[in-house]
Every structure is written in structure tokens, then in C-alpha cells.
Amino acid sequence: MADEHPDIPDDRLRLIFTCCPGELAPENRVALTLLSVIYRIFSEGYSSHGGPSLTRVDLCHQAIRLGTVLVELMPEHSEALGLLALMEVQVSRNRARVAPSGELVQMADQDRALWDRSLIASGLDHLERAALLGTCGAYQLQARIAACHAVASSFDATDWRRIAALYTELRRTSSSPIVELNRAIAVCMADGPDAALKIIDTLDNEPALKSYHRLPATRADFLWRLQPWSEAATEYRRALRLVSNDRERDFLTKRLKDCESTEYDRFA
């Protein structure tokens, strides 16, 4: 069955193409391969839904390898280039995202000297090649957001307004409310937590976010910045009831304890 695509050098990628509905045009098969397979492999590797580790490096590298093969097969497909750029730039931060003890390290606290500059350079090159093709899809927009982080000399030097604008553009091409949640984070950094909370409040009734721990965790972070610690603690507890990854649970537990101790000290 996989012999239907002898021109595809990777067995797994050939199988993916073979399993796509035969009536789909080649460009639509590429789109299905990107949305349904490669990006899901990468997403699970970059931020594991469950288990003891924050990341699964093996899945990240498998996804990048498949993306590289796809770009080699279709070098003029802008979204294939965009996805490869996104994965490379994101993975470049992996060593800094986890402390030696295994704890999650937020971007603000990451040692940027640990970021893989060769992967960033490769990602930026693929992003530039995609831009020259004249069309810009969701993967390219996400890659541009990742690039804003990659080129910033520090967390504080990040161009948060541009990131917020890119998320606004991405929202027009994506039906996922997670995009709006991420935009709220950028708005918080650019304009403060009050403005960001107004965005978060519009997401409470989104069915796709009902069991998503990062919605209450993000609201908790905004409340923490505004210092109603008891309210922040309530949101961290909500997030803890939903989270399944052990490392993220440890991080949220620590933030909850910080809220509780700060509130206690305030009235002691």
C-alpha cells in the first residue's frame, strides 16, 4: 500500500500520504498531513499532555524530520516551510524550559544562552523562504510569533505589541480560542493585566476551554500581578483540578503555595 508513493523517501511520511483520501488534490494532502499528523506529533512532544516529563524530545525530533522531508518534496509549499520554521524555533528553547531538577522554567526565567542558535537560524531561514512565496497561513504566523521571542535579547525586550498583533491576525485564520488566550498573555505584557483580564473573561463559556487548565492558570497569573492573592489562589486550584502533566502540576502547586503564604503574611 505504501508503494503508491515511491517518490517519498520516508516510510512514515509515505504511509501518511497513502492514508489520506485518494480523491484529495496533492496540495490538500499536504495540508491534511500538516494539520492532522506532523503538528500533533510535535505538539505532544513539545508539551506532553501527561506523564512525568514536560517534553518528549524524541517526538519533537521526529516531527522536525518529517517536516524536513515534506519541505524537500514540496519546497514551494509555504505552509510546509512555515511549520518547519515554527518547530525549529520552538524546539530551540527546549534545554532552557526544564531545570536540572526537572521543574518547568517559565520563559521570563529561562537562560537564553541555552537556546540553540543554529536551530533558530534554520527556522528564521525557512520562515524567510516561506515569506518570499507570497502567502501567509497559520503556521507562518505562529512561526513569526516564535521568532519574536527568539530574536529578543531578553524577556523584557520582547516586542509584545507585535506578538499581540500577530495573534490578532492568527485569530482571523483560526477558530481555536487558545489563540485568543495566548493573545491575552501578550496583551498583559504590553498593556498590563487589567486589559488582559477583559480578554480572558470573554473565554469563560468557550466549550473547548472548559477542561483546559491553562485558562484558569493564566487568569491566576494576571490576578497574581494585580495582587488579589486569594482570587489568584482560587484560579490555581481550578487549574490543578484540570492539569495532567506532572511537571506543570508541580509548577502550579508552587504558585498556589506562594499565593497562600503571601495572603497569610498579609494578615499575620
- What DSSP string describes 68-93? HHHHHH-TT-HHHHHHHHHHHHHHTT
Using CA atoms, how far residue 51 sits from 42, 119, 143, 171, 249, in Å, is: 16, 27, 27, 31, 11
For residue 218, being part of any structural domain is answered with: yes
| Local structure of 104: helix, strand or coil | strand
For residue 117, being part of any structural domain is answered with: yes
The predicted pLDDT at position 268 comes to 44
| Residue 146 and residue 234 in one domain | no
C-alpha cell, 184: 491575552
- Distance (Å, whole) CA 65 – CA 47: 18
C-alpha cell, 230: 486569594
pLDDT band of residue 171 (cuts 50, 70, 90) is very high
Domain of residue 256, residue span:
211-268
Q: Is the pTM of this model over 0.75?
A: yes
The predicted pLDDT at position 254 comes to 95
48-91 per-position pLDDT tens digit? 887 788 889 999 999 999 899 888 888 888 999 999 999 999 99
pLDDT over 90 at 5, yes or no: no
- Distance (Å, whole) CA 194 – CA 73: 47
The predicted pLDDT at position 33 comes to 60
pLDDT over 50 at 198, yes or no: yes
| Residue 110 and residue 216 in one domain | no
- Distance (Å, whole) CA 240 – CA 253: 7
For residue 253, being part of any structural domain is answered with: yes
Q: Do the beta carbons of residue 57 and residue 42 sit within 8 Å?
A: no
111-146 per-position pLDDT tens digit? 999 999 999 999 999 999 999 998 899 999 999 999
- Reported as half-sphere exposure (CB side, CA atoms, 13 A), residue 128 has a value of 6
Q: Do the beta carbons of residue 79 and residue 42 sit within 8 Å?
A: no
- Distance (Å, whole) CA 164 – CA 107: 17
pLDDT over 80 at 26, yes or no: no
For residue 5, being part of any structural domain is answered with: yes
186-199 mean pLDDT = 96
| Residue 129 and residue 228 in one domain | no
The predicted pLDDT at position 192 comes to 96
| Residue 136 and residue 26 in one domain | yes
The predicted pLDDT at position 106 comes to 94
The predicted pLDDT at position 175 comes to 80
